[in-house]
Structure 1
Amino acid sequence: MISNEPTPVRRNHILWLVVPPGVWAVHFLASYMTIAIWCAKFADDSADATPVRIAIAVYTVLALAIIVGIGFLSYRQHRNGGNAPHDEDTPEDHIRFTGQATFLLSLLSGVAAIFTSLVVVFVGSCD
């Protein structure tokens, strides 16, 4: 049986808005805690920070993969069925607006994760 009823609109998952900044926050904490623990417990002042650089590179790749994935999905959600502005009081526009906001937060979180990881590029030791 084929129904002529319109397809129901997906629920507006507003909680997706917090995922990209949350991923960046976890990346930030993991990066700086790794540096702090390494320098305090395992390295002297002149020790090379290569293990820390490798760990933070792994953290950054994982964080960026998650952020880019969510950004891609939210961009598709934003572009699905109309152009901006999404200012009508309809469920479809609510979903598209949430997609746009999540996409923009993904861009911001991706840049923040890159800037967080640049610290180990410029700092070579625990001095």
Structure 2
Amino acid sequence: MTRDPRRWPERLKVTLWTLIVPPTVWAGHFLFSYLWAAISCAKVGEFATFPTLFVVGTVIALAIIILSGWIAWVQGRMPGGTVPHEDSTEIDRLRFLAKSTLLLAGLSFVGVAFTALPVIFLRSCS
């Protein structure tokens, strides 16, 4: 039995835990952003010329959210079941959780992007 490495998202199970990954990453990035801004303003008095730590944190957050959304998209497109997907079957529950995770990933992506915008446009702490 050989496993195709390209099919690993299909082997994962979408659960309520995977549903909360994108908003949790968004909340973590939000906390990280405000702590970074507070420490930068307290120590230096302004944001760094190029905020490397902030950019790395934002890229990691966006990568986790994109990965979560991609896994949900792949799982939501698995074959099986009839089109309305209103029955109480395992595949319908999987598709519901996958669609919800995908939508939350999109919202969280926008949230992280909007949280990062002040660092791009503002340079002074006052």
- TM bucket, shorter chain: 0.7 to 0.9
> Where do 5+ consecutive residues of structure 2 fail to align?
1-10
Larger Rg: 1
Q: TM-score normalised to the size of structure 1?
A: 0.81
Q: Which aligned pairs between 1:79-94 and structure 2 lie closer than 5 A?
A: 79-81=77-79, 85-94=84-93
Root-mean-square deviation over aligned CA pairs: 2.1
Residue aligned with 1:22, SS:
helix
Counting matched residue pairs gives 115
Q: Which runs of 4+ in 1 moved over 2 A?
A: 9-12, 47-51, 82-86
Aligned counterpart, 1:102: 101
Residue 36 of structure 2 aligns to which amino acid in structure 1?
Answer: T
Residue identity (%) = 43
Q: TM-score normalised to the size of structure 2?
A: 0.82
- What do the CA deviations read for 1:36-95 (whole angstroms, capped 9, x no partner)? 01111x113xx45325x3222111100010000010000011111158643211011001
Does the 8 Å contact 1:60/1:117 carry over to 2?
A: yes
> Where do 5+ consecutive residues of structure 1 fail to align?
1-8
Of residues 53-62 and 69-78 in structure 1, the stretch that sits farther from structure 2 once superposed is: 53-62
Aligned counterpart, 1:20: 22
Aligned counterpart, 2:5: none
